[in-house]
Amino acid sequence: MLEDDFIIQRKPDKKRSILARVQNTWRKDLPGKLNQKLIQMIGLLSMKLGGDTYASDGMLLWGREIGWIEDHILIKSISKVKPVKNELRICWRTHVLCWAAKQAINSEGDFFEFGCFKGFSAAVVRHYCGSEFNKQGSRNYFWFDLFQTSDTQKIGNPLDFCDAESIAISRASLFEDIKIIKGDIRETYLNNNLYSDKKIAFAHFDLNNIDVEIQIIDYVMQRVTSGSVIVFDDFAMSPFSKQNREYYKFFRKLSIPILELPTGQGVVIIP
Ligand SMILES: C[S@@+](CC[C@H](N)C(=O)[O-])C[C@H]1O[C@@H](n2cnc3c(N)ncnc32)[C@H](O)[C@@H]1O
């Protein structure tokens, strides 16, 4: 399935792979031919540098052991979600998210997706957690989104919302415990104690806007339980430098360390 979006080459020893996304976006204006040339060059370089190579989602890695591509539950979960345009690009981030969700699964509380868009990441997470997700019987996965351009989304690529809500609904419909909450999150979460009072085991922040996220994290930190996990999607992404500064500042004050990953994500585990 990864083959739909990646060029996957096996190295001569057959154990090592080169995964390069066909449509890498390191330069949007890069002509197709140059893009192809770069992929060829990465392939050649990778033969010399050893290990697995990965080129996607702003990462160019070599000399690695890419184990997650052999995680059959992850690959099956991604394929069940039927990725649409560009979604496979973030499969390494999705691996991190699934790991984080599994860490949180035994903690008390619900799961929260702040900014679900088409529901790709959250749906993969839900499939990945399987029946363990609801072994306590009453857990929900709340997906928040406005499903249209918001005055709060000023940074990052403009999103195309034409089918976002219908795709999210269809992905959510496979699970009774997923609830989509449509609207501006400042109203639907911050000003709505039906949701903001709930205990939290897992939260994924992906609103592309630090000013709103920082208001939410204040609430979230009062509702997280021991062992819960929070993932910040844009923590170390270059257009979101304010995110990085603000979250470091926020968690330093609480003496909770934040893990910065090459995927651009930040991860916090609540003691
Ligand atoms: C990058 S997308 C989320 C992608 C999704 N988490 C995934 O991994 O597939 C950011 C989303 O945040 C939503 N968003 C931004 N500001 C919002 C707000 N104030 N209220 C509700 N949703 C908002 C946008 O509508 C958009 O769908």
Domain that holds residue 116: 70-269
Predicted confidence band of residue 58 (pLDDT cuts 50, 70, 90): confident
Ligand 1 centroid to residue 147 C-alpha, Å: 7
Is residue 157 over pLDDT 80?
A: no
Is 84 in the same domain as 129?
yes
Is 172 in the same domain as 59?
no
Q: Which of 145, 180, 192, 208 to mutate to test the pocket of ligand 1 (most atoms within 8 A of CB)?
A: 145
Is 134 in the same domain as 32?
no
The domain tally of the chain equals 2
Q: Give the residue carrying structure tokens 């003496």.
A: 255
Is residue 181 over pLDDT 90?
A: yes
Length of the chain: 271
Predicted pLDDT of residue 239: 83
Is 154 in the same domain as 38?
no
Reported as a single tens digit per residue, the pLDDT across 218-266 is: 999 999 999 999 999 999 998 889 999 999 999 999 999 999 999 999 9
Ligand 1 centroid to residue 186 C-alpha, Å: 12
Q: What's the pTM value of the predicted model, to 2 decimals?
A: 0.93
Helices (H), 57-134: 72-80, 91-104, 120-129
Identify the bridge partners of residue 59 per DSSP, sorted by sequence position: 56
Reported as a single tens digit per residue, the pLDDT across 103-137 is: 999 999 999 999 999 999 999 999 999 999 998 77
Task: Kindly report each contact of residues 75-82 with a partner whose C-beta sits within 8 Å and lies 24 or more positions away, as own/partner.
Answer: 75/1, 75/2, 76/127, 77/124, 77/125, 77/127, 77/128, 78/1, 78/124, 79/1, 80/123, 80/127, 80/174, 81/119, 81/120, 81/123, 81/124, 81/127, 81/171
Out of 71-75, 82-86, 148-152, which region has the weakest mean confidence (pLDDT)? 148-152
Please state the atom number of ligand 1 nearest to the C-alpha of residue 97: 8
Residue ID of nearest Cα to ligand 1 atom 9 = 120
Is 48 in the same domain as 91?
no
165 or 62: whose pLDDT is higher? 165
User: What is the average pLDDT score of the chain?
Assistant: 90
